[in-house]
């Protein structure tokens, strides 16, 4: 007797990719930056990141159980959101910031819209901005990097971020003085203040290039985003180097590398065509530069990406490939 044969539509073979594979590769790509963050900020950083990951996954599981939905938490997307959220927080964040942030990311920015694939905004960024606006003190308490300090109980000595320093000095003194003390080397390896994941540009670039090489991230958004920031800040620096710091400093500091490679490239919330991705990247770059140079905040990446997320459906509606055999209607 024949065992039952499977009847489904063509095609009958598959390339083998899956959502968990994509998510776990993103986590692998984030590991260098995560480990640098742990090393630079010590145990508090480990606590924040682990709590965000655990809370994010637990909240998603709880929500889906509560509403009798299919449990999808093992597809890796909640873990990626938790990791990205943790990397976007200052190392000194208290546990409840991790909890509130995870709740906002998973429930408000993702599950309420219908879960993975339906969200309009990048969940980790929604949470980060929510926390920034609601708890500005906690969210700007930047730790001094502890490359030579005690790992388990580092002194929570605060230090401004590279961009924060620039904004402060320009506001107070009308020009840049000490910000130049942060060398390119410091910015590349992570010897600066900032949130856990953003300090080492080198680690972030390495992870980003890995994802591009594997094909999980297209180069269009990171390149157009970073290039636009470089261009705009470069033009302003050329006009007035006393007040505007040089463009290399800009692209290596702040959340730009983290944002350009890992957050703006979030598949669900960015355009689906490559032309659309370039428009998206340029938009993010322009907004980031404008906020950094003339806005109230020293850092603009999170706001820029969220604003462009809201424009993604519009970009996808109008930026389409020309179909094969396209007949222009006369």
Partner 1 sequence: MAIEIFEFKGGVHPEDKKELSKNSRIEQLDAPEIVRIPLSQHIGAPAKAVVKEGDYILVGQVVGEAGGFVSAPVHSSVSGTVRKISTFISAPFGVPSLMVEIENDGQYRSVDFVEHENYLDLEPKELLKIIQNAGIVGMGGATFPTHVKLSPPPDFKIDTFIVNGVECELYLTADYRLMLEEPEKIIEGAKIVMKILGVDSGIIAIEGNKPDCIERIGRMVENEPIEVVELPVKYPQGGEKQLIKAITNREVPSGGLPMHVGAVVQNAGTVAAIYEAVRFGKPLIERITTVSGEAIKKPKNFKVKIGTLASHLISNCEGFKKPPKKIIFGGPMTGFAQYTLDIPVTKGTSGILAFTDDIVKEYEYTACISCGSCVRACPANLVPSFMSILIEKGLFEEADNNDVLDCIECGCCSYVCPAHRPLVHMFKLGKAKAMEIRRAKQNK
Q: Which one of 1-9, 35-43, 173-181, 281-289 is the stretch in contact with partner 1 (CB under 8 A)?
A: 1-9
CB of 31 to partner 1, least distance (A): 21
Q: Rg for the chain (alpha carbons), in Å?
A: 21
Q: Could you say which residues in the range 263-302 bind partner 1, by CB under 8 A?
A: 267-270, 272-274
Q: Give the Cα separation of 323 and 330 in Å (integer).
A: 17
Output phi, psi for 272, to 5 deg: -95, -20
Q: Is 8 in the site for partner 1 (CB under 8 A)?
A: yes
CB of 128 to partner 1, least distance (A): 21
Minimum CB distance to partner 1 smaller for 117 or for 136: 117
Q: Which one of 49-57, 87-95, 222-230, 262-270 is the stretch in contact with partner 1 (CB under 8 A)?
A: 262-270
DSSP letters for 227-267: HHHHHHHHHHHHH-TTTS--HHHHHHSTTHHHIIIIITT-T
Q: Among residues 27, 47, 54, 72, which is the contact residue for partner 1, using CB under 8 A?
A: 72
Q: How many residues bind partner 1 (CB under 8 A)?
A: 42
Buried b (16+ CB within 10 A) or exposed e, 46-83: bbbbebbbbbbbbbbbebbeeeeeeeebebbbbbbbbb
Minimum CB distance to partner 1 smaller for 15 or for 137: 15
Q: Is 68 in the site for partner 1 (CB under 8 A)?
A: no
Q: Is 329 in the site for partner 1 (CB under 8 A)?
A: no
Output phi, psi for 146, to 5 deg: -110, 40
Minimum CB distance to partner 1 smaller for 8 or for 240: 8
Give me the residue label for tokens 């339906």.
118
Q: Among residues 28, 71, 117, 150, which is the contact residue for partner 1, using CB under 8 A?
A: 117
Q: Which one of 79-87, 192-200, 299-307, 316-324 is the stretch in contact with partner 1 (CB under 8 A)?
A: 316-324
**Residues whose CB is less than 8 angstroms from the CB of residue 86 and which lie 6 or more positions away in sequence, other chains included:** 48, 49, 50, 51, 52, 53, 98, 196, 197
CB of 255 to partner 1, least distance (A): 23
Minimum CB distance to partner 1 smaller for 220 or for 292: 220
Q: Is 321 in the site for partner 1 (CB under 8 A)?
A: yes
Q: Is 15 in the site for partner 1 (CB under 8 A)?
A: yes
CA neighbor of 190 nearest in space, from 100, 253, 133: 253
Q: Could you say which residues in the range 174-233 bind partner 1, by CB under 8 A?
A: 218
Minimum CB distance to partner 1 smaller for 34 or for 269: 269
Q: Which one of 116-124, 193-201, 251-259, 294-302 is the stretch in contact with partner 1 (CB under 8 A)?
A: 116-124
Q: Give the Cα separation of 317 and 114 in Å (integer).
A: 21
The CA-atom distances, in angstroms, between 274 and each of 118, 235, 261, 265, 277 are 20, 27, 15, 12, 5
Q: Is 2 in the site for partner 1 (CB under 8 A)?
A: yes
Minimum CB distance to partner 1 smaller for 29 or for 179: 29
Q: Give the Cα separation of 69 and 282 in Å (integer).
A: 38
Chain residues in the site for partner 1 (CB under 8 A): 2-3, 5-15, 17-19, 21-22, 72, 75, 114-118, 218, 267-270, 272-274, 316, 320-327
């Amino acid at each position: 007797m024949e065992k039952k044969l499977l009847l489904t539509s063509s095609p009958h073979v598959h390339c083998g990719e899956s959502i968990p594979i994509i998510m776990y590769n993103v986590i692998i790509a984030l590991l260098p930056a995560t480990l640098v963050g742990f090393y630079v900020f010590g145990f508090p950083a480990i606590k924040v990141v682990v709590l965000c990951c655990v809370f994010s996954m637990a909240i998603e599981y709880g929500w889906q159980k509560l509403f009798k939905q299919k449990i999808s938490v093992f597809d890796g997307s909640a873990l990626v959101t938790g990791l990205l959220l943790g990397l976007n927080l200052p190392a000194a964040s208290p546990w409840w910031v991790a909890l509130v942030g995870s709740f906002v990311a998973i429930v408000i920015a993702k599950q309420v819209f219908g879960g993975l694939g339906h969200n309009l905004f990048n969940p980790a960024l929604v949470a980060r901005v929510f926390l920034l606006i609601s708890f500005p003190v906690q969210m700007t308490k930047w730790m001094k990097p502890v490359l030579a300090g005690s790992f388990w109980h580092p002194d929570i000595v605060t230090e401004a971020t590279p961009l924060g320093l620039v904004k402060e000095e320009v506001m107070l003194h009308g020009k840049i003085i000490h910000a130049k003390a942060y060398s390119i080397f410091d910015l590349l390896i992570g010897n600066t203040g900032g949130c856990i994941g953003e300090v080492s540009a080198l680690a972030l670039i390495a992870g980003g290039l890995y994802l591009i090489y594997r094909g999980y991230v297209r180069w269009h958004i990171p390149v157009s985003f970073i290039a636009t920031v470089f261009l705009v800040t470069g033009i302003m620096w050329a006009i007035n180097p006393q007040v505007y710091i040089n463009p290399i400093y800009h692209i290596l500091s702040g959340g730009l590398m983290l944002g350009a490679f890992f957050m703006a490239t979030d598949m669900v919330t960015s355009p689906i065509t490559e032309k659309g991705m370039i428009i998206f990247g340029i938009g993010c770059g322009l907004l980031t530069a404008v906020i950094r140079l003339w806005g109230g905040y020293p850092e603009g990446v999170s706001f820029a990406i969220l604003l462009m997320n809201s424009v993604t459906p519009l970009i996808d509606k109008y930026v389409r490939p020309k179909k094969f055999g396209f007949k222009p209607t006369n």
